[in-house]
Amino acid sequence: MRTSRLLLATLKEDPSEAEIISHRLMLRAGLIRRLAAGLYSWLPLGQRVVNKVAAIVRQEMDRAGAQEIVMPAIQPSELWQESGRWNQFGPELLRLADRHQRDFCIGPTHEEVVTDIARREIRSYRQLPLNLYQIQTKFRDEVRPRFGVMRSREFVMKDAYSFDMDAAGLAKSYALMHDAYVRIFERIGLDFRVVDADPGAIGGSRSQEFHVLADSGEDAIAFSTSGDYAANLETVPSAPPETTLAAPGQAMEKVATPDAHTIDELCQQLNVASSRCVKTLLVRAAQGGCIALVVRGDDQLNEVKASRVPGIKLPLEFAGEEQVRQAAGAGTGSLGPVGLHLPCYVDAHAAVLADFVSGANEDGYHLRGVNWHRDVALPEAMDLRNVKEGEKTPDGNGEIAIARGIEVGHIFQLGAKYSVAMNATCPDETGRAIPFEMGCYGIGITRIPAAAIEQCHDERGIVWPTAIAPYQVVLLPMNLAKSTRVREAAQALYSELSDAGIEVLFDDRPVRPGVMFAEAELIGIPHRLVLGERGLDRNEIEYKRRRDGAEEKVPLDQVVKWLRSLINTELLRVNA
């Protein structure tokens, strides 16, 4: 590609709409443009990256024996009624009516449609195992679309669905997908971890997520410092407290805390440790009203665990300031279990506190010396907290360390959840109708370029792994306009590189070398060649690697072969 012909839409200034580095760089390098909240256009350079990601995913899915299909983005409500999700799915599901007033949704995922295909088309157990996948546009009306294509409303997903007759078959199909995913992320060239996950709204039993490690990641992942344990923090069970409830030592008293709006301010004012306080949070109940959840002041509420509290409204929703005031007679900063007439659950670590501090359910006041049983009945204790670094892993093998991750893939063993609900069965050897054992497997195709940039960038711009770079090589001729020799040599080299199957961006614009260098670095092309008069005199070309700035002079007549083998080794790393 000649740069003069490319819609190169780089920006000099940092766009103000971007909060994280990948979003900023994707806008600055001209990969994407925002149309509306959570809706992005992919410009040529960006779309090339998306295509490369999709090609790797497609190859590995095919290699694992999955078959590509495409299902409609718009889905009829009847199928969602059958699975029960028409009513369960919250406002993330964008619903619409056609001209005949029939209800539809824009697919956020495709379990219903693919189960419908399976129940119509699969006639015999001999056709199994079967795995169908698609690379297709999804829509989820996210509460907070942000970070550009990282959490957008419209995005491209690869979703695959496996069908088996029994649990053993499902386990095999699942293992195949697990291994295909490992190959995909290794080939793309990212540092990733596979972690145990919560099956969430999709349902089912076993589930694992693939996370690209990056500080800006929205998820916390917990892993063992010395063992194999790795799980999304939201699913890690907390060990029970080591202490038991002690007898009261202090009398309960009400203290004025006019300036304490946070736990830290409260601790400072009363001179107590946050581990001696409790936080009380109100969430909405399914039947209306609120439920109170109590955790220790130094602990964080785990929302996945909280979603298992009986009677809670799903998805979990915190009560608004007004609802809190109505239910408790005070604002969120002054809540506590004493005198609170609401269903209440307490985290096991807060249930063993004696002489603790809590809100008084009166604005500007707290209670000191509170004791369970004596001052307030001890509510049912549950595991409601996030585990912390340094605690023992659930398998007892090492201590927990926590890193940030970006979820790029998710695999589930669904079991018969959808096949039973939608009566999708297949006759077994004896002719008995058996519901399919299903698995589903997603990859965020359009999230991957953003995740890759979060992991691979420097102060000058993007540093693409070669496997997904929009171009593999950038060829920068010096003084093209003035030097016939350079022009001819550069044109010849451009043709030779292209003929060797190397994807090269040839900067034939009449711009200053400084501009060429800066833009090539911003858009992150992994390999750079600079051709000038001086090099021609010596029959050599200057090579520079984007990743680490390593430089080399390469004989001009060998550079194509040399680059070809360099790129081949990069791309074939896990291909064998």
Residue 349 binds to ligand ATP (criterion: CB under 6 A): no
Over the window 460 to 499, marking each residue x when it contacts ligand ATP by CB under 6 A and - when it does not, the resulting string is ----------------------------------------
Over the window 554 to 573, marking each residue x when it contacts ligand ATP by CB under 6 A and - when it does not, the resulting string is --------------------
Q: Which of 83, 115, 131, 152 binds ligand ATP (CB under 6 A)?
A: 152
Residue 155 binds to ligand ATP (criterion: CB under 6 A): yes
Rounded Cα distance between 186 and 79, Å, is: 37
Q: In the complex with ligand ATP, which residue's Cβ is closer, 203 or 526?
A: 203
Contacts to ligand ATP from residues 164-203, by CB under 6 A: 200
DSSP 407-423: EEEEEEEEETHHHHHTT
Which phi and psi (to 5°) does residue 540 adopt?
-140, 165
**Nearest-approach distance from CB 178 to ligand ATP, in angstroms:** 14
Residue 428 binds to ligand ATP (criterion: CB under 6 A): no
Contacts to ligand ATP from residues 210-249, by CB under 6 A: none
Q: Which of 151, 305, 366, 528 binds ligand ATP (CB under 6 A)?
A: 151
**Nearest-approach distance from CB 212 to ligand ATP, in angstroms:** 9
Residue 444 binds to ligand ATP (criterion: CB under 6 A): yes
List the beta bridge partners of residue 290: 284
Q: In the complex with ligand ATP, which residue's Cβ is closer, 200 or 513?
A: 200
**Nearest-approach distance from CB 158 to ligand ATP, in angstroms:** 8
**Nearest-approach distance from CB 205 to ligand ATP, in angstroms:** 15
Q: Which of 405, 435, 439, 442 binds ligand ATP (CB under 6 A)?
A: 442
Q: In the complex with ligand ATP, which residue's Cβ is closer, 152 or 386?
A: 152
Residues sharing a CB contact under 8 Å with residue 167, sequence separation 6 or more, in sequence order: 415, 437
Residue 85 binds to ligand ATP (criterion: CB under 6 A): no
DSSP 30-49: TSEEEEETTEEEEPHHHHHH
Q: Which of 141, 142, 303, 399 binds ligand ATP (CB under 6 A)?
A: 142
**Nearest-approach distance from CB 20 to ligand ATP, in angstroms:** 14
Residue 28 binds to ligand ATP (criterion: CB under 6 A): no
Q: In the complex with ligand ATP, which residue's Cβ is closer, 297 or 449?
A: 449
**Nearest-approach distance from CB 118 to ligand ATP, in angstroms:** 20
**Nearest-approach distance from CB 154 to ligand ATP, in angstroms:** 8
**Nearest-approach distance from CB 264 to ligand ATP, in angstroms:** 29
Q: In the complex with ligand ATP, which residue's Cβ is closer, 53 or 157?
A: 157
Residue span binding ligand ATP (CB under 6 A) among the ranges 49-57, 126-134, 439-447, 562-570: 439-447
Tokens standing for 501? 């199957």
Rounded Cα distance between 235 and 232, Å, is: 6
Q: DSSP H helical segments within 139-229, as ranges?
A: 167-188
Give the CA distances from residue 204 to residues 174, 200, 310, 415, 565, in Å, rounded to whole numbers and listed in that order. Answer: 13, 8, 19, 6, 46
**Nearest-approach distance from CB 175 to ligand ATP, in angstroms:** 18
Q: Which residue is nearest to ligand ATP (CB)?
A: 444
Contacts to ligand ATP from residues 98-127, by CB under 6 A: 109
With b for 16 or more beta-carbon neighbours within 10 A and e for fewer, the 215-228 pattern comes to ebbebbbbbbeeee
**Nearest-approach distance from CB 448 to ligand ATP, in angstroms:** 8
Residue 447 binds to ligand ATP (criterion: CB under 6 A): yes
Which phi and psi (to 5°) does residue 223 adopt?
-140, 160
Tokens standing for 478? 């010096």
Residue 140 binds to ligand ATP (criterion: CB under 6 A): yes
List the beta bridge partners of residue 409: 210, 443
Cβ contact 378:384 at 8 Å: no
Spatial CA neighbour of 276 closest among 286, 263, 285: 263
Residues sharing a CB contact under 8 Å with residue 507, sequence separation 6 or more, in sequence order: 3, 474, 475, 476, 477, 516, 519, 520
Number of residues that bind ligand ATP (CB under 6 A): 16
Q: How many CB atoms lie within 10 A of CB 240?
A: 13
Q: In the complex with ligand ATP, which residue's Cβ is closer, 441 or 506?
A: 441
Contacts to ligand ATP from residues 404-423, by CB under 6 A: 407-410
Q: What is the residue type of 5?
A: R
Q: How many CB atoms lie within 10 A of CB 37?
A: 12
Residue 439 binds to ligand ATP (criterion: CB under 6 A): no
Residues sharing a CB contact under 8 Å with residue 514, sequence separation 6 or more, in sequence order: none
**Nearest-approach distance from CB 133 to ligand ATP, in angstroms:** 12
Give the CA distances from residue 367 to residues 37, 113, 251, 340, 360, in Å, rounded to whole numbers and listed in that order. Answer: 45, 55, 10, 13, 5
Tokens standing for 396? 């007892």
DSSP 257-303: -TT--SHHHHHHHHT--GGGBEEEEEEEBTTSSEEEEEEETTS-B-H
Q: In the complex with ligand ATP, which residue's Cβ is closer, 89 or 356?
A: 89
Q: Under the rule (CB under 6 A), what is the footprint of ligand ATP?
A: 109, 140, 142, 151-152, 155, 157, 200, 407-410, 442, 444, 446-447
